[in-house]
Structure 1
Protein backbone atom coordinates (compact mmCIF):
# COMPACT_ATOMS: atom_id res chain seq x y z
CA UNK A 1 0.00 0.00 0.00
CA UNK A 2 1.76 3.14 -1.23
CA UNK A 3 0.87 6.54 0.21
CA UNK A 4 1.51 10.06 -1.20
CA UNK A 5 4.87 10.60 0.67
CA UNK A 6 6.20 7.49 -1.12
CA UNK A 7 5.90 9.35 -4.42
CA UNK A 8 6.61 12.86 -3.12
CA UNK A 9 9.92 11.75 -1.54
CA UNK A 10 10.91 9.54 -4.52
CA UNK A 11 11.18 6.33 -2.52
CA UNK A 12 11.81 3.20 -4.58
CA UNK A 13 10.70 -0.26 -3.49
CA UNK A 14 13.47 -2.64 -4.57
CA UNK A 15 12.09 -5.85 -3.04
CA UNK A 16 9.48 -7.32 -2.90
CA UNK A 17 8.10 -5.97 -6.17
CA UNK A 18 4.42 -5.62 -7.05
CA UNK A 19 2.92 -7.11 -3.91
CA UNK A 20 1.32 -5.74 -0.76
CA UNK A 21 2.51 -8.53 1.53
CA UNK A 22 5.81 -10.05 2.62
CA UNK A 23 6.69 -13.44 4.06
CA UNK A 24 9.42 -14.65 6.37
CA UNK A 25 12.50 -15.59 4.36
CA UNK A 26 12.85 -19.37 3.89
CA UNK A 27 14.52 -20.88 6.96
CA UNK A 28 14.82 -17.45 8.63
CA UNK A 29 13.04 -15.76 11.53
CA UNK A 30 12.50 -12.48 9.71
CA UNK A 31 11.11 -10.82 6.61
CA UNK A 32 13.33 -8.51 4.55
CA UNK A 33 12.30 -5.41 2.59
CA UNK A 34 14.75 -3.42 0.45
CA UNK A 35 14.16 0.28 -0.25
CA UNK A 36 16.10 3.00 -2.04
CA UNK A 37 15.69 6.69 -1.20
CA UNK A 38 17.30 9.99 -2.17
CA UNK A 39 20.24 10.86 0.12
CA UNK A 40 18.28 13.50 2.05
CA UNK A 41 15.34 11.22 2.93
CA UNK A 42 15.24 9.32 6.23
CA UNK A 43 13.22 6.22 7.02
CA UNK A 44 11.88 4.66 10.20
CA UNK A 45 9.43 1.77 10.57
CA UNK A 46 7.42 -0.32 12.97
CA UNK A 47 5.88 -3.78 13.14
CA UNK A 48 2.42 -4.09 14.68
CA UNK A 49 0.13 -6.92 15.68
CA UNK A 50 -3.46 -5.96 16.54
CA UNK A 51 -2.33 -2.33 16.34
CA UNK A 52 0.26 -2.88 19.11
CA UNK A 53 3.90 -2.11 18.32
CA UNK A 54 6.19 -5.10 18.75
CA UNK A 55 9.23 -4.20 20.80
CA UNK A 56 12.43 -5.41 19.17
CA UNK A 57 10.45 -6.32 16.07
CA UNK A 58 12.40 -4.40 13.44
CA UNK A 59 15.87 -3.32 12.40
CA UNK A 60 16.71 -0.89 9.61
CA UNK A 61 20.24 -0.55 8.31
CA UNK A 62 21.59 1.48 5.44
CA UNK A 63 23.84 -0.54 3.16
CA UNK A 64 26.40 2.07 2.08
CA UNK A 65 27.92 -0.16 -0.58
CA UNK A 66 24.63 -0.78 -2.38
CA UNK A 67 23.03 2.51 -1.27
CA UNK A 68 19.84 0.79 -0.13
CA UNK A 69 17.97 0.34 3.14
CA UNK A 70 17.83 -3.24 4.38
CA UNK A 71 14.77 -3.52 6.63
CA UNK A 72 14.31 -6.61 8.81
CA UNK A 73 11.06 -7.52 10.57
CA UNK A 74 10.88 -10.31 13.16
CA UNK A 75 7.51 -11.30 14.66
CA UNK A 76 7.24 -12.60 18.21
CA UNK A 77 3.84 -14.26 17.69
CA UNK A 78 1.63 -15.75 15.02
CA UNK A 79 -1.00 -13.48 13.48
CA UNK A 80 -1.63 -10.86 10.82
CA UNK A 81 1.03 -8.17 11.24
CA UNK A 82 1.32 -4.74 9.66
CA UNK A 83 4.66 -3.22 8.64
CA UNK A 84 4.61 0.56 8.24
CA UNK A 85 7.39 2.78 6.90
CA UNK A 86 7.54 6.47 7.79
CA UNK A 87 9.69 8.94 5.90
CA UNK A 88 10.79 12.56 5.98
CA UNK A 89 13.20 14.87 4.24
CA UNK A 90 16.17 16.25 6.17
CA UNK A 91 19.09 14.72 8.03
CA UNK A 92 18.30 15.70 11.62
CA UNK A 93 16.08 13.85 14.08
CA UNK A 94 13.76 16.86 14.13
CA UNK A 95 10.68 17.11 11.96
CA UNK A 96 7.62 15.02 11.35
CA UNK A 97 7.71 11.59 9.73
CA UNK A 98 4.75 10.67 7.49
CA UNK A 99 3.62 7.13 6.73
CA UNK A 100 4.83 6.30 3.23
CA UNK A 101 4.03 2.63 2.65
CA UNK A 102 2.86 -0.47 4.46
CA UNK A 103 2.84 -4.23 4.04
CA UNK A 104 1.01 -7.19 5.52
CA UNK A 105 2.99 -9.97 7.16
CA UNK A 106 0.85 -12.99 7.98
CA UNK A 107 2.63 -15.38 10.34
CA UNK A 108 0.84 -18.73 10.60
CA UNK A 109 3.69 -20.65 12.20
CA UNK A 110 6.47 -19.30 14.41
CA UNK A 111 10.05 -19.97 13.30
CA UNK A 112 12.11 -22.38 15.39
CA UNK A 113 14.50 -19.67 16.59
CA UNK A 114 12.61 -16.38 16.90
CA UNK A 115 14.85 -13.32 17.10
CA UNK A 116 14.47 -9.67 18.05
CA UNK A 117 16.53 -6.53 17.52
CA UNK A 118 17.88 -3.92 19.94
CA UNK A 119 16.72 -0.36 19.41
CA UNK A 120 19.19 1.55 17.24
CA UNK A 121 19.62 5.19 16.25
CA UNK A 122 21.19 6.80 13.19
CA UNK A 123 24.41 7.28 15.18
CA UNK A 124 24.84 3.49 15.45
CA UNK A 125 25.31 3.15 11.69
CA UNK A 126 26.97 6.50 11.01
CA UNK A 127 29.76 5.72 13.49
CA UNK A 128 30.16 2.09 12.40
CA UNK A 129 29.18 0.32 15.64
CA UNK A 130 28.69 -3.45 15.75
CA UNK A 131 27.08 -5.49 18.53
CA UNK A 132 29.22 -8.57 19.21
CA UNK A 133 27.13 -9.87 22.11
CA UNK A 134 24.27 -10.50 22.79
CA UNK A 135 23.08 -11.22 19.26
CA UNK A 136 19.58 -11.61 17.82
CA UNK A 137 17.80 -10.23 20.88
CA UNK A 138 16.63 -6.92 22.31
CA UNK A 139 15.98 -8.41 25.76
CA UNK A 140 18.59 -9.68 28.21
CA UNK A 141 17.28 -11.72 31.14
CA UNK A 142 19.07 -11.46 34.46
CA UNK A 143 18.10 -14.08 37.03
CA UNK A 144 19.31 -16.82 39.40
CA UNK A 145 21.33 -14.36 41.47
CA UNK A 146 23.31 -12.89 38.55
CA UNK A 147 24.08 -9.26 39.35
CA UNK A 148 24.99 -7.68 35.99
CA UNK A 149 24.88 -8.10 32.23
CA UNK A 150 27.61 -7.40 29.71
CA UNK A 151 27.19 -6.04 26.19
CA UNK A 152 30.19 -6.20 23.85
CA UNK A 153 30.48 -3.57 21.11
CA UNK A 154 33.05 -3.14 18.37
CA UNK A 155 33.77 0.38 17.13
CA UNK A 156 36.27 2.15 14.90
CA UNK A 157 39.30 3.51 16.80
CA UNK A 158 38.06 7.10 16.68
CA UNK A 159 34.76 6.38 18.47
CA UNK A 160 34.10 6.34 22.21
CA UNK A 161 31.11 5.07 24.16
CA UNK A 162 29.21 6.02 27.29
CA UNK A 163 26.55 4.03 29.15
CA UNK A 164 23.39 4.79 31.08
CA UNK A 165 21.08 2.41 32.92
CA UNK A 166 17.54 3.58 33.56
CA UNK A 167 14.51 2.02 35.20
CA UNK A 168 10.94 1.90 33.91
CA UNK A 169 10.34 5.43 35.19
CA UNK A 170 13.25 6.59 32.98
CA UNK A 171 15.28 7.41 36.11
CA UNK A 172 19.03 6.89 35.90
CA UNK A 173 20.35 4.12 38.16
CA UNK A 174 23.28 5.61 40.04
CA UNK A 175 26.41 3.50 39.65
CA UNK A 176 24.48 1.19 37.35
CA UNK A 177 26.87 1.19 34.39
CA UNK A 178 30.54 0.65 33.63
CA UNK A 179 31.65 1.15 30.04
CA UNK A 180 35.29 0.80 29.04
CA UNK A 181 37.53 -0.12 26.15
CA UNK A 182 39.41 -3.39 26.51
CA UNK A 183 42.65 -2.71 24.63
CA UNK A 184 43.80 -6.32 24.73
CA UNK A 185 40.70 -7.52 22.88
CA UNK A 186 39.94 -4.27 21.00
CA UNK A 187 36.37 -4.26 22.22
CA UNK A 188 34.11 -2.11 24.37
CA UNK A 189 32.77 -3.85 27.47
CA UNK A 190 29.50 -2.32 28.62
CA UNK A 191 28.37 -3.62 32.01
CA UNK A 192 24.99 -2.82 33.54
CA UNK A 193 23.88 -3.68 37.08
CA UNK A 194 20.19 -3.18 37.99
CA UNK A 195 19.63 -2.18 41.63
CA UNK A 196 16.38 -4.18 42.03
CA UNK A 197 14.01 -6.51 40.19
CA UNK A 198 12.10 -5.09 37.24
CA UNK A 199 12.53 -3.86 33.67
CA UNK A 200 15.47 -1.63 32.78
CA UNK A 201 16.93 -0.05 29.67
CA UNK A 202 20.66 -0.29 29.01
CA UNK A 203 21.46 2.66 26.76
CA UNK A 204 24.79 3.01 24.96
CA UNK A 205 25.69 6.42 23.58
CA UNK A 206 28.52 7.24 21.20
CA UNK A 207 30.51 10.03 19.61
CA UNK A 208 33.72 10.59 17.70
CA UNK A 209 36.69 11.29 19.98
CA UNK A 210 37.43 14.43 17.98
CA UNK A 211 33.86 15.70 18.40
CA UNK A 212 33.64 18.28 21.22
CA UNK A 213 29.86 17.81 21.35
CA UNK A 214 27.96 15.49 23.64
CA UNK A 215 27.29 11.77 23.28
CA UNK A 216 24.08 10.76 21.51
CA UNK A 217 22.06 7.54 21.67
CA UNK A 218 23.35 4.66 19.55
CA UNK A 219 21.81 1.38 20.76
CA UNK A 220 19.61 0.21 23.64
CA UNK A 221 18.72 -3.16 25.16
CA UNK A 222 15.98 -4.08 27.61
CA UNK A 223 16.97 -5.91 30.80
CA UNK A 224 14.51 -8.07 32.69
CA UNK A 225 15.94 -8.38 36.21
CA UNK A 226 14.74 -11.06 38.61
CA UNK A 227 16.20 -12.25 41.92
CA UNK A 228 18.71 -9.39 42.07
CA UNK A 229 20.91 -9.93 45.17
CA UNK A 230 19.81 -8.00 48.28
CA UNK A 231 23.11 -6.09 48.13
CA UNK A 232 23.24 -5.22 44.42
CA UNK A 233 26.58 -4.30 42.92
CA UNK A 234 27.29 -0.80 41.63
CA UNK A 235 30.18 0.78 39.78
CA UNK A 236 32.29 3.80 40.69
CA UNK A 237 32.72 6.32 37.91
CA UNK A 238 35.86 5.57 35.92
CA UNK A 239 37.71 7.18 33.02
CA UNK A 240 39.86 5.67 30.26
CA UNK A 241 43.21 6.00 32.17
CA UNK A 242 41.86 3.64 34.87
CA UNK A 243 41.86 0.80 32.33
CA UNK A 244 44.79 1.99 30.23
CA UNK A 245 47.05 2.02 33.31
CA UNK A 246 45.84 -1.39 34.53
CA UNK A 247 44.41 -0.23 37.87
CA UNK A 248 42.30 -2.46 40.08
CA UNK A 249 40.11 -1.51 43.05
CA UNK A 250 40.73 -3.84 45.99
CA UNK A 251 38.33 -2.11 48.38
CA UNK A 252 35.49 -1.34 48.44
CA UNK A 253 34.62 -4.07 45.92
CA UNK A 254 31.60 -3.90 43.59
CA UNK A 255 30.19 -0.67 44.94
CA UNK A 256 30.14 2.96 43.88
CA UNK A 257 30.25 4.34 47.44
CA UNK A 258 33.29 4.51 49.67
CA UNK A 259 32.49 3.35 53.20
CA UNK A 260 33.05 5.52 56.24
CA UNK A 261 32.80 3.16 59.20
CA UNK A 262 31.26 4.45 62.45
CA UNK A 263 34.46 4.23 64.47
CA UNK A 264 36.84 5.40 61.72
CA UNK A 265 38.14 8.90 61.15
CA UNK A 266 38.26 8.49 57.37
CA UNK A 267 36.94 6.49 54.42
CA UNK A 268 39.47 4.31 52.61
CA UNK A 269 39.87 3.20 49.00
CA UNK A 270 42.57 0.62 48.18
CA UNK A 271 43.88 0.40 44.62
CA UNK A 272 46.36 -1.98 43.04
CA UNK A 273 48.55 -0.36 40.39
CA UNK A 274 51.73 -1.03 38.38
CA UNK A 275 54.99 0.17 39.99
CA UNK A 276 55.35 3.20 37.74
CA UNK A 277 51.92 4.70 38.56
CA UNK A 278 51.56 7.52 41.11
CA UNK A 279 48.34 8.74 42.73
CA UNK A 280 46.93 11.96 44.09
CA UNK A 281 43.37 12.45 45.27
CA UNK A 282 40.93 15.01 46.59
CA UNK A 283 37.47 15.18 48.11
CA UNK A 284 34.82 17.74 47.23
CA UNK A 285 31.62 18.89 48.85
CA UNK A 286 29.18 20.72 46.56
CA UNK A 287 31.98 20.82 43.99
CA UNK A 288 34.31 22.64 46.40
CA UNK A 289 37.54 20.89 47.36
CA UNK A 290 37.95 20.24 51.10
CA UNK A 291 41.39 21.40 52.24
CA UNK A 292 43.48 18.65 53.88
CA UNK A 293 40.53 16.30 53.39
CA UNK A 294 42.41 13.60 51.49
CA UNK A 295 45.69 11.69 51.45
CA UNK A 296 47.23 9.32 48.89
CA UNK A 297 49.98 7.00 50.17
CA UNK A 298 51.54 3.73 49.14
CA UNK A 299 51.17 0.92 51.66
CA UNK A 300 54.31 -1.19 51.36
CA UNK A 301 52.98 -4.07 53.44
CA UNK A 302 49.83 -4.47 51.38
CA UNK A 303 51.52 -3.40 48.11
CA UNK A 304 48.49 -1.18 47.50
CA UNK A 305 47.76 2.50 47.17
CA UNK A 306 45.77 3.76 50.11
CA UNK A 307 43.51 6.72 49.33
CA UNK A 308 42.06 8.27 52.48
CA UNK A 309 39.17 10.73 52.60
CA UNK A 310 37.92 12.67 55.62
CA UNK A 311 34.72 14.64 54.95
Structure 2
Protein backbone atom coordinates (compact mmCIF):
# COMPACT_ATOMS: atom_id res chain seq x y z
CA UNK A 1 0.00 0.00 0.00
CA UNK A 2 1.26 3.48 -0.80
CA UNK A 3 0.11 6.72 0.85
CA UNK A 4 1.00 10.26 -0.20
CA UNK A 5 2.03 12.40 2.79
CA UNK A 6 3.90 15.69 3.18
CA UNK A 7 7.48 15.60 4.52
CA UNK A 8 6.20 17.01 7.83
CA UNK A 9 4.15 13.87 8.59
CA UNK A 10 5.47 10.64 10.13
CA UNK A 11 3.49 7.41 9.68
CA UNK A 12 3.62 3.99 11.29
CA UNK A 13 1.35 0.94 11.03
CA UNK A 14 0.21 -2.07 13.03
CA UNK A 15 -1.54 -5.27 11.98
CA UNK A 16 -4.43 -6.56 14.12
CA UNK A 17 -6.16 -9.94 14.01
CA UNK A 18 -9.18 -10.92 16.10
CA UNK A 19 -8.67 -7.83 18.27
CA UNK A 20 -5.04 -8.65 19.07
CA UNK A 21 -2.03 -6.62 17.93
CA UNK A 22 0.41 -8.73 15.97
CA UNK A 23 4.18 -8.29 16.34
CA UNK A 24 5.58 -5.04 14.94
CA UNK A 25 7.74 -7.11 12.58
CA UNK A 26 4.60 -7.93 10.56
CA UNK A 27 4.49 -4.38 9.12
CA UNK A 28 7.21 -2.31 7.47
CA UNK A 29 6.79 1.40 6.78
CA UNK A 30 9.25 3.59 4.90
CA UNK A 31 9.24 6.92 3.09
CA UNK A 32 10.26 7.34 -0.54
CA UNK A 33 9.98 11.05 -1.33
CA UNK A 34 6.35 12.11 -0.87
CA UNK A 35 5.21 8.48 -0.64
CA UNK A 36 4.97 6.17 2.32
CA UNK A 37 5.25 2.50 1.39
CA UNK A 38 3.48 0.18 3.83
CA UNK A 39 4.23 -3.54 3.52
CA UNK A 40 2.55 -6.28 5.53
CA UNK A 41 3.27 -9.89 6.39
CA UNK A 42 0.21 -12.10 6.90
CA UNK A 43 1.17 -15.23 8.86
CA UNK A 44 -1.95 -17.11 7.69
CA UNK A 45 -5.13 -16.69 5.67
CA UNK A 46 -7.85 -14.66 7.36
CA UNK A 47 -9.22 -11.20 8.11
CA UNK A 48 -6.86 -8.51 9.40
CA UNK A 49 -7.08 -4.83 10.26
CA UNK A 50 -4.20 -2.64 9.10
CA UNK A 51 -4.20 0.39 11.40
CA UNK A 52 -2.15 3.40 10.27
CA UNK A 53 -0.96 6.02 12.75
CA UNK A 54 0.39 9.54 12.15
CA UNK A 55 2.01 12.47 13.91
CA UNK A 56 3.91 15.58 12.95
CA UNK A 57 7.51 14.58 12.21
CA UNK A 58 9.78 15.47 15.12
CA UNK A 59 6.97 15.87 17.67
CA UNK A 60 7.73 13.98 20.89
CA UNK A 61 4.10 12.94 21.46
CA UNK A 62 2.22 9.78 20.63
CA UNK A 63 1.06 8.78 17.16
CA UNK A 64 -2.71 9.07 16.64
CA UNK A 65 -4.86 6.67 14.68
CA UNK A 66 -5.29 7.94 11.13
CA UNK A 67 -7.18 5.16 9.35
CA UNK A 68 -7.93 1.46 9.25
CA UNK A 69 -8.11 -0.99 6.37
CA UNK A 70 -9.78 -4.37 6.51
CA UNK A 71 -7.73 -6.94 4.64
CA UNK A 72 -8.98 -10.41 3.73
CA UNK A 73 -5.81 -12.40 3.11
CA UNK A 74 -6.54 -15.38 0.87
CA UNK A 75 -3.37 -17.07 2.07
CA UNK A 76 -0.60 -16.57 4.55
CA UNK A 77 3.15 -16.65 4.17
CA UNK A 78 4.75 -20.05 3.86
CA UNK A 79 7.08 -19.32 6.77
CA UNK A 80 7.11 -16.86 9.65
CA UNK A 81 9.89 -14.36 9.12
CA UNK A 82 8.62 -10.81 9.36
CA UNK A 83 10.49 -7.62 8.51
CA UNK A 84 13.64 -6.25 10.13
CA UNK A 85 13.32 -4.26 13.34
CA UNK A 86 13.40 -0.50 12.67
CA UNK A 87 15.00 1.99 15.04
CA UNK A 88 14.09 5.66 15.40
CA UNK A 89 17.11 6.80 13.34
CA UNK A 90 15.72 4.87 10.36
CA UNK A 91 12.79 7.31 10.31
CA UNK A 92 14.52 10.53 11.38
CA UNK A 93 17.10 10.18 8.60
CA UNK A 94 14.57 9.12 5.91
CA UNK A 95 16.39 5.85 5.24
CA UNK A 96 15.06 3.65 2.45
CA UNK A 97 15.67 -0.12 2.53
CA UNK A 98 15.97 -1.91 -0.82
CA UNK A 99 17.09 -5.28 0.54
CA UNK A 100 16.86 -7.52 2.48
CA UNK A 101 13.30 -7.06 3.66
CA UNK A 102 13.23 -10.28 5.73
CA UNK A 103 14.16 -9.74 9.38
CA UNK A 104 15.42 -13.30 9.84
CA UNK A 105 18.23 -14.40 7.54
CA UNK A 106 19.75 -17.85 7.10
CA UNK A 107 23.20 -17.93 8.74
CA UNK A 108 25.94 -18.97 6.34
CA UNK A 109 24.11 -17.67 3.26
CA UNK A 110 25.37 -14.79 1.10
CA UNK A 111 23.11 -11.75 1.43
CA UNK A 112 23.14 -8.36 -0.28
CA UNK A 113 22.35 -5.34 1.90
CA UNK A 114 21.31 -2.18 0.05
CA UNK A 115 19.84 0.99 1.49
CA UNK A 116 19.68 4.72 0.86
CA UNK A 117 20.92 6.75 3.83
CA UNK A 118 20.87 10.49 3.01
CA UNK A 119 23.76 12.37 4.60
CA UNK A 120 25.53 9.33 6.07
CA UNK A 121 29.33 9.20 6.01
CA UNK A 122 29.51 5.44 6.56
CA UNK A 123 27.13 2.48 6.93
CA UNK A 124 28.08 -0.87 8.45
CA UNK A 125 26.52 -4.20 9.41
CA UNK A 126 27.55 -4.92 13.00
CA UNK A 127 27.44 -8.50 14.31
CA UNK A 128 28.95 -8.87 17.77
CA UNK A 129 32.45 -7.38 17.53
CA UNK A 130 32.61 -7.65 13.72
CA UNK A 131 31.96 -4.66 11.47
CA UNK A 132 31.18 -5.17 7.77
CA UNK A 133 31.28 -1.81 5.97
CA UNK A 134 29.00 -1.23 2.99
CA UNK A 135 30.28 0.46 -0.17
CA UNK A 136 28.99 3.97 -0.83
CA UNK A 137 27.66 5.31 -4.14
CA UNK A 138 26.18 8.74 -3.37
CA UNK A 139 23.52 8.19 -0.70
CA UNK A 140 23.18 4.47 -1.52
CA UNK A 141 25.19 1.91 0.46
CA UNK A 142 25.58 -1.70 -0.64
CA UNK A 143 27.46 -4.78 0.49
CA UNK A 144 27.31 -8.55 0.14
CA UNK A 145 28.24 -10.60 3.18
CA UNK A 146 27.95 -14.10 4.59
CA UNK A 147 25.22 -13.88 7.24
CA UNK A 148 26.56 -14.62 10.73
CA UNK A 149 24.49 -16.36 13.39
CA UNK A 150 22.84 -14.12 15.98
CA UNK A 151 21.77 -10.49 16.14
CA UNK A 152 22.96 -7.93 13.59
CA UNK A 153 22.40 -4.18 13.34
CA UNK A 154 22.82 -1.88 10.36
CA UNK A 155 24.40 1.32 11.73
CA UNK A 156 25.22 4.67 10.12
CA UNK A 157 27.68 7.45 10.96
CA UNK A 158 26.38 10.98 10.43
CA UNK A 159 28.31 14.28 10.39
CA UNK A 160 28.72 15.89 13.80
CA UNK A 161 28.13 12.61 15.67
CA UNK A 162 30.91 10.61 17.29
CA UNK A 163 28.87 7.40 17.49
CA UNK A 164 27.03 5.31 14.91
CA UNK A 165 23.21 5.28 14.99
CA UNK A 166 21.34 1.96 14.71
CA UNK A 167 18.95 1.84 11.74
CA UNK A 168 17.74 -1.76 11.33
CA UNK A 169 17.97 -5.01 13.28
CA UNK A 170 18.25 -8.53 11.81
CA UNK A 171 18.72 -12.04 13.17
CA UNK A 172 20.85 -14.73 11.56
CA UNK A 173 19.45 -18.20 12.30
Counterpart check, 1:81 vs 2:41: no
With over 3 angstroms needed to count, the CA separation of the structure-2 counterparts of 1:48 and 1:212, relative to structure 1, is: same
2:143 to 183, 188, 192: 188
Superposed displacement of residue 128, structure 1: 4.8
Q: TM-score, normalised by structure 1?
A: 0.43
With over 3 angstroms needed to count, the CA separation of the structure-2 counterparts of 1:55 and 1:140, relative to structure 1, is: farther
Deviations 1:180-209 (A, max 9, x none): 2458xx733566634xxxxx432112133x
CA distance in 1, matches of 2:146, 2:163: 21
Higher relative contact order by CA 8 Å / sep ≥ 6: 1 or 2?
Answer: 2
2:131 to 169, 174, 178: 178
Cα RMSD after superposing both structures: 3.5
Whether the 8 Å CA contact 1:178–1:191 is kept in 2: the answer is no
Higher share in strand? 2
Which residue of structure 2 aligns with residue 141 of structure 1? 106
Superposed displacement of residue 160, structure 1: 0.9
2:39 to 52, 72, 91: 72
Whether the 8 Å CA contact 1:78–1:110 is kept in 2: the answer is yes
SS at match of 1:56: helix
Counterpart check, 1:201 vs 2:151: yes
Counterpart check, 1:153 vs 2:153: no
Counterpart check, 1:53 vs 2:2: no
With over 3 angstroms needed to count, the CA separation of the structure-2 counterparts of 1:158 and 1:138, relative to structure 1, is: closer
Whether the 8 Å CA contact 2:112–2:142 is kept in 1: the answer is no
Counterpart check, 1:107 vs 2:73: yes
Which residue of structure 1 aligns with residue 163 of structure 2? 214
SS at match of 1:109: coil
Superposed displacement of residue 141, structure 1: 2.7
User: After TM superposition, what 4+ stretches of structure 1 lie above 6 angstroms from structure 2?
Assistant: 111-115
CA distance in 1, matches of 2:54, 2:168: 21
Whether the 8 Å CA contact 2:30–2:96 is kept in 1: the answer is no
Which residue of structure 2 aligns with residue 285 of structure 1? none
Unmatched tracts of structure 2, length 5 or more: none
